[in-house]
Structure 1
Amino acid sequence: MPECTHLDQVVYLEPTEPVTGCPECMAAGDRWVHLRMCQSCGKIGCCDSSPNRHASKHAAAAEHPIARSVEPGEDWSWCYVDDVMMRLVAE
């Protein structure tokens, strides 16, 4: 089973305020499907099912490998580099 090799770069982050959408999509008047939160810096972006794929673009540009879903009821994270899903736990 594949494993994430980037867990040492993660800080378990929670949104500091309610997440109402992808900030970049909202600024451009675009739509999004689901939202992800970078677990290195807290940036909110839209998922790869969204037209703009802001979360994965951020991961590549900033070299921040792990994002987690901020959708209600979802508790999974994704490593863009290792292509692996996981559950992060707050310490």
Structure 2
Amino acid sequence: MTDDTGIDPAVPPSGAGCAECDAAGGWWFHLRRCAACGHVGCCDSSPGQHATGHYRATGHPVVQSYEPGEDWFWDYATDTLRESGPELAPPASRPADQPAPGPAGRVPADWARSLHR
């Protein structure tokens, strides 16, 4: 159950990559996981910016990095970084053998030119 911080620690992530990029055959730079519903979307540097799109569509304010070794949270509603938060249901990140940018085989050779800064 989501608490007043917009986090439901019991909900698992929706998958190993950005749900919208996977559906469209696209690619991402880094991944973010919705702390309310588990939706995995791509970061704002990615061409699709699907994590922010998910926040705008649902109002779910908090995401956690879905990158190996990172556990920070971002709150879209307050535009603030949270250094820590509750441990979310596993897995805590994309598979370690999945590259960033990813997924393997869908990232164009000139991928850096497509990043949002």
User: Would the TM-score normalized by the shorter structure come out above 0.5?
Assistant: yes
| Secondary structure at 1:75 match in 2 | coil
Unaligned runs of 5+ in 2: 89-117
Asked if 1:9 corresponds to 2:6, the answer is yes
**Aligned amino acid, residue 56 of structure 1:** T
User: Is 1:88 equivalent to 2:85 in the alignment?
Assistant: yes
* Structure 2 residue 22 is matched with structure 1 residue 43: no
Q: Which of 48, 65, 68 is 2:61 aligned to?
A: 65
Instruction: Judge conservation of contact 1:12–1:88 (CA < 8 Å) in 2.
Output: no
Higher strand share: 1
Identity of aligned residues (%): 45
TM-score, length basis structure 1: 0.80
TM-score, length basis structure 2: 0.64
1:15-51 CA distance string (max 9 Å, x none): 458x432121022111101111101111110010101
Gaps of 5+ in 1: 1-5
- For the aligned residues, what is the CA RMSD? 2.2
Contact 2:21 2:27 in 1 (8 A): yes
* Structure 1 residue matching 2:36: 3-state secondary structure: coil
Cα separation, 2, equivalents of 1:64 and 1:84: 14
Give the structure 2 partner of residue 3 of structure 1. Answer: none
- Name the amino acid aligned to 1:88: G
